[in-house]
Each structure stands twice: as C-alpha cells, then as structure tokens.
C-alpha cells in the first residue's frame, strides 16, 4: 500500500468501514510510514479537539438554568410593572390628599389671583372636603392602603 492509497482510506478507517484485510494494511502502512502517521495523528487530534469543542459548547444544565432564570426574570419584570402601576396610583392618591389638605389653605390666595377656570376646577377637592368631612379620613385610609400595596409589591419584586 502506498501513501495515497492509505490517505484515501483514512476516513473509512476512522468510521470503521474497512474490512479486516484492508484495515490491517492501513495499520501496517501507518506503522511503517512516518509521514502518513503524522497526518493520521493530525486528523485524530483535530477530531478530538472538535469533539471537545462540541461537548463544551453544547447546551447542558447551565442553559436550562439560564432559561429558568430568564423566566423568573420575566416574572420579575411583571412585578416591576405592577410596582410602577401602584407607584402611579400612590402618587395620584398622594396628590389628591395633598390637594385636600393644602388647597383650603392656599385657596384664598389662588382665588384672588386666578381666573374663572381655576376657580371652577381647583376648589373641587376642597369643596368635597368641606362637604364630606369623612373624605379626609378616607384619603388617609387610601394612603395607608397604597403604602401597604407598595410594600407588598416591592417585597414581591425582590423575592421573584
Ligand atoms: Zn505513507
């Protein structure tokens, strides 16, 4: 067997596709020929590093864990959205309460300086407060509830 014949059979030899007689001839040539042996070694080494690369890169446990971590990340984002929503609601309630408390104080000043539209729109919370004294208590209860909801949403956002 010459070198060309031997090299032509490398891949069949690698895949164990040669019959015993041809396989023995290839092995005999590899034992005798330094050049073919070197080339054979190169092929097997390249193959080994390729297999090693595939094993290293192939999806394993880590990927599954990453996906799971991503899923809980999505839940975290959802919690953040509800957190933001509650934050906006909280700010709204806070502004309402602030208006209820502050407007009666600044209303006389506003009334002197501002026009008809402001006279008609801004006193509404103050009028409500005057008409329903319970509105103040209700506002404070709403504020407390908003704070509780915020605490719950924050805790949820941190835990998940
Ligand atoms: Zn050879």
- Report how far ligand 1's centroid is from the alpha carbon of 8 (Å): 11
Residue 101 main-chain phi, psi, to 5 deg? -85, -45
Q: Is 0.75 surpassed by the pTM of this model?
A: no
Domain of 8 in residue numbering reads as 3-57
- Report how far ligand 1's centroid is from the alpha carbon of 29 (Å): 6
Q: Report the chain's C-alpha Rg in angstroms.
A: 40
- The number of folded domains in the chain is 2
74 and 33 inside one domain: no
Q: At what angle do helices 61-113 and 123-131 cross, to 10 degrees?
A: 90
77 and 38 inside one domain: no
Instruction: Going residue by residue through the chain, which has 160 residues, state the pLDDT in tens, using 9 for 90 and above.
Output: 899 999 999 989 988 899 999 999 999 999 999 999 999 999 989 888 887 777 776 655 566 666 666 666 667 677 677 778 888 888 888 888 888 877 777 777 666 666 666 666 666 767 766 666 676 777 778 888 888 888 888 777 776 6
- Report how far ligand 1's centroid is from the alpha carbon of 147 (Å): 83
66 and 53 inside one domain: no
């Amino acid at each position: 067997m010459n070198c060309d014949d031997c090299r032509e059979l490398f891949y069949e030899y690698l895949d164990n596709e040669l019959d015993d007689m041809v396989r023995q001839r290839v092995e005999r040539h590899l034992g005798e020929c330094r050049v073919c042996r070197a080339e054979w070694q190169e092929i097997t080494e390249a193959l080994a590093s390729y297999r090693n690369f595939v094993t290293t890169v192939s999806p394993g446990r880590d990927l599954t864990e990453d996906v799971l971590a991503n899923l809980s990340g999505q839940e975290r984002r959802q919690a953040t959205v509800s957190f933001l929503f509650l934050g906006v609601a909280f700010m709204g309630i806070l502004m309402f309460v602030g208006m209820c408390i502050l407007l009666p104080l600044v209303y006389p000043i506003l009334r002197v300086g501002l026009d008809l539209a402001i006279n008609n729109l801004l006193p509404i919370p103050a009028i409500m407060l005057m008409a329903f004294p319970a509105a103040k208590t209700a506002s404070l209860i709403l504020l407390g509830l908003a704070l509780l909801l915020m605490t719950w949403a924050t805790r949820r956002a941190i835990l998940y």
